[in-house]
Chains A and B, each alone.
Chain A
Amino acid sequence: TQLLEQSPQFLSIQEGENLTVYCNSSSVFSSLQWYRQEPGEGPVLLVTVVTGGEVKKLKRLTFQFGDARKDSSLHITAAQPGDTGLYLCAGAIGYGNKLVFGAGTILRVKS
């Protein structure tokens, strides 16, 4: 059983559409991170959210941490083919020095 449930597992959209990826848990995390991974490479950190209710923006990407620090969402506005990849959420447990990962969302943006 995944500690972090990510949805959807797969998303195929047209260029210019908006999308949201969700990451949910029954556990409280000291922080939550989002990574993006391309084939043959390791995950690359996009953002870390620490405070309940926190919202961070990275160009067309908006990340939100739930008020209770159990869930998070990633919203992409006007998706582009370059956004294609595997998106992973990860929650920090312990002293914030160990991560548990969701299973990932494969995003494909078609031009």
Chain B
Amino acid sequence: NAGVTQTPKFQVLKTGQSMTLQCAQDMNHNSMYWYRQDPGMGLRLIYYSASEGTTDKGEVPNGYNVSRLNKREFSLRLESAAPSQTSVYFCAILLRPNYGYTFGSGTRLTVV
């Protein structure tokens, strides 16, 4: 998954705590995405960013905020974590429309 770096790889939070998941790319692409993956549900889009400074909601945005301050980085913030946000989170970049994504290696988040 070279080109998309996610940190941290694992995290355990208590209910109500906040944290930011970081994603950085070194491939100079405009579009970046945050997905969550839950068993039996595939990947669901949380937020995406078509370019620096712009963000849009996806299918499951509630409880999350994002920030795209520059072309390279796209962060996902949980202001008050809930057990329902226990999931594996993936950041992705779009190589080009109708071509495909490159994904990071994911962040496994557990909220207790």
Q: A interface vs B, CB < 8 Å?
A: 2, 4, 6, 9, 30-31, 33, 35, 40-45, 48, 50, 88, 90, 92, 95-104
Task: Check if B42 sits within 8 Å of A101, measured CB to CB.
Answer: yes
A-B pairs under 8 A by CB, number: 67
**A44 neighbours in B (Cβ, 8 Å):** 1, 103
Task: Check if A103 sits within 8 Å of B41, measured CB to CB.
Answer: yes
Question: Nearest-CB distance from B21 to chain A (Å)?
Answer: 14
Interface residues contributed by chain B, number (CB under 8 Å): 28
Task: Check if A48 sits within 8 Å of B42, measured CB to CB.
Answer: no
**B97 neighbours in A (Cβ, 8 Å):** 92, 95-97
Task: Check if A42 sits within 8 Å of B104, measured CB to CB.
Answer: yes
Question: Nearest-CB distance from B36 to chain A (Å)?
Answer: 11
CA distance A90 to B50 in the complex (A): 19
CA distance A43 to B33 in the complex (A): 14
Interface mask (B46-65 → A, CB under 8 Å = 1, otherwise 0): 00101000000011000000
CA distance A55 to B20 in the complex (A): 42
